[in-house]
Amino acid sequence: MTSNGHLVKATSQRLILTAINAMHALVHVNLHAVPLLYPALRDHFGFGYMGIAVLTLTSQIAIGSTQISFGALTRLARRFQILGIGNALAFIGSILLAVAPNYALLVLARVVRGLGISPYHPVGGAIMASSFPRDRAKALGLFRTSGGVGTLIAPLMVGAMLHLWGWRPVVFVLGAPFLLASIFCFWVRETADEAYLKSREKKSDRFGLQEYKALLQDRNALIISLTMVISAGGRIGGVMKTYLAVILVDRFEISVAFAAVFFTAYSIGEVVGPLTLGWLSDRTSPLMVVRFNLALSALFLLLILYPAVPGIMLGLIVFMAGLFIGSRTSLMQALLIQSGPQDARIDTQLSLYFTIGAISGPIWTLLIAALIDHFGMASALWTMALSFVFGMIILSFVRPASPAK
C-alpha cells in the first residue's frame, strides 16, 4: 500500500473511532436521562412505581432480547447500516416519547428506542475490535469509556435542561442527534477486516448458525461465558451500581446528596479503568489481566465495608472498585475474541456475550436485592466478591489463546 493509502486508512480508522465512541456516548446519555425524568413523567401521567417498573422492563427486554440476532444480521447488511437503522429507530422512539399523550404511547416509545439502541454494544464493539486488532482490548476499553462518559454527563445535562424547559423539549433535544447519527452511518464506508468481508461471502451458512454452534462447543468460549454468568452477572459494572447509593446511605447513614459524591467517584473509575487496563491487556496477557481484574474487584468491593466513617479513604476505595469492576466487560470481550474459535466472527462472539449478560444480569440483580433484604449488605457484598473469585478460578481452565484474529 502506498503512503497515501496508509494515510487514507489511518484517517478512516480515526473517523470510525471518533464516530462510534461519540454515538456510544449519545446512547448512554439517553439511556440514563429517562430514569432522571421519571418524577416528571409520573406527575404528568399519574402512574406509580409499578408504572416506572414497566417502563424500565420493556426497554430492557427490547434491548436484551435482540442481542443474539446481530451475529446473523451483520452477515446480511453492513455494520454501519445496522447502526444507521438503529439510530433511525431511536430517533423515532424519542419523538414518540416527546409527544406521547398517554402512558401506553410512553411504553411503545420506550420499546422503539430500546430496539434502536440494541445494536450498539455488539455491533459497535465489533467495529472497534475489528478496526484495531493490535490494540483490541484498548479499543474495547475506549468504547466502554465513551459510554461511561455519557453516563457521567447525563445527570448534568438533564438537570440543566429541566431547569430551563419541561420534560418534552428535553427528550426531543437529547433524541435529535440520533437523526444525524443515522445519516452519518449510511454515508460512511466501513474499513472492515478481511475475515469479516470473507464471512459475508459465505452463502452456505447465511445466518451464521455454524458460528453459534462452534461457539457453544468451544471449550474456551464456554469457560469464559460461565465466568461472565458467575461473576456478578457479567454485565457492565455488574449489579454494584444498582445498589451502591443505597448501600452507602444505609452503611454510613449519610444523605443521598453525600452518597452521590461517592457514586460519582465510582463512575469516574468506570471511565478511567477500561482504557487503562485495556492498554495493559494488549501489552501483556489478556487472560492474566482479566484474572488480576477479578481479584482486585473482589478486594475493593469488600473494602467498602472497612472505613468507619465516610471520607477520602472511602472515596478512593469506591473509585478503585469502579475502576476494576467497570473494566471487566471490555477485558472479557477481548479475551473471548482472542481465545474463542477461529471460525466465529467478532460480531457473533459479542452478540453471544451480550445475550448472556441480558439473561444473567437480572438474575443477579434480584439475588442481591434478596440478600440485602434478608441478610444485610455485608452478605451481599461478600457474595459478589466471592463470585469474582470463583470466576478467577474458573478462568485457570482456559487453554492458551489462539493466534490473533
CATH code of the domain containing 157 = 1.20.1250.20
Residue that is last in its domain, among 201, 232, 265 = 201
Locate 28 and state its grid cell. Answer: 448512554
What residues make up the domain containing 87?
A: 3-201
Task: Specify whether 45 is located in the same domain as 131.
Answer: yes
- Whole-number pLDDT of residue 168: 92
**Whole-model pTM?**
0.78
- For residue 402, is it within any domain? no
The stretches in the chain having pLDDT less than 50 are 1-8, 194-195, 198, 403-405
Residue that is last in its domain, among 201, 219, 240 = 201
Q: Do residues 297 and 241 make contact, with C-beta atoms less than 8 angstroms apart? A: no
Task: Specify whether 384 is located in the same domain as 251.
Answer: yes
- For residue 172, is it within any domain? yes
- For residue 404, is it within any domain? no
Task: Specify whether 171 is located in the same domain as 216.
Answer: no
Task: Specify whether 131 is located in the same domain as 256.
Answer: no
Residue that is last in its domain, among 201, 222, 255 = 201
- For residue 143, is it within any domain? yes
Sequence-distant (6+) residues with CB within 8 A of 121 are 67, 350, 354
Task: Specify whether 176 is located in the same domain as 214.
Answer: no
- For residue 134, is it within any domain? yes
242-274 residues labelled b (16+ CB within 10 A) or e (exposed): bbbbebbeebbebeeeebeebbbbbbbbbbbbb
- For residue 271, is it within any domain? yes
Task: Specify whether 302 is located in the same domain as 358.
Answer: yes
Q: Which candidate, 266, 265, 366, 248, places its Cα nearest to that of 307?
A: 248
Return the beta strands (E) in 265-403 as ranges. none
Task: Specify whether 175 is located in the same domain as 220.
Answer: no
198-237 residues labelled b (16+ CB within 10 A) or e (exposed): ebeeeeeeeebeebbebbeebebbebbbbbbbbbbbbbbb
Q: Do residues 27 and 168 make contact, with C-beta atoms less than 8 angstroms apart? A: no
- Whole-number pLDDT of residue 235: 57
Task: Specify whether 70 is located in the same domain as 110.
Answer: yes
Torsion of CA 208, 27, 144, 397, to 10 degrees: -40
Task: Specify whether 251 is located in the same domain as 156.
Answer: no
Task: Specify whether 256 is located in the same domain as 393.
Answer: yes
- Whole-number pLDDT of residue 104: 92
Domain count along the chain: 2
- Whole-number pLDDT of residue 2: 46
- Whole-number pLDDT of residue 7: 40
- Whole-number pLDDT of residue 295: 94
- For residue 380, is it within any domain? yes
- Whole-number pLDDT of residue 1: 44
Task: Specify whether 244 is located in the same domain as 149.
Answer: no
- For residue 292, is it within any domain? yes
Task: Specify whether 223 is located in the same domain as 323.
Answer: yes
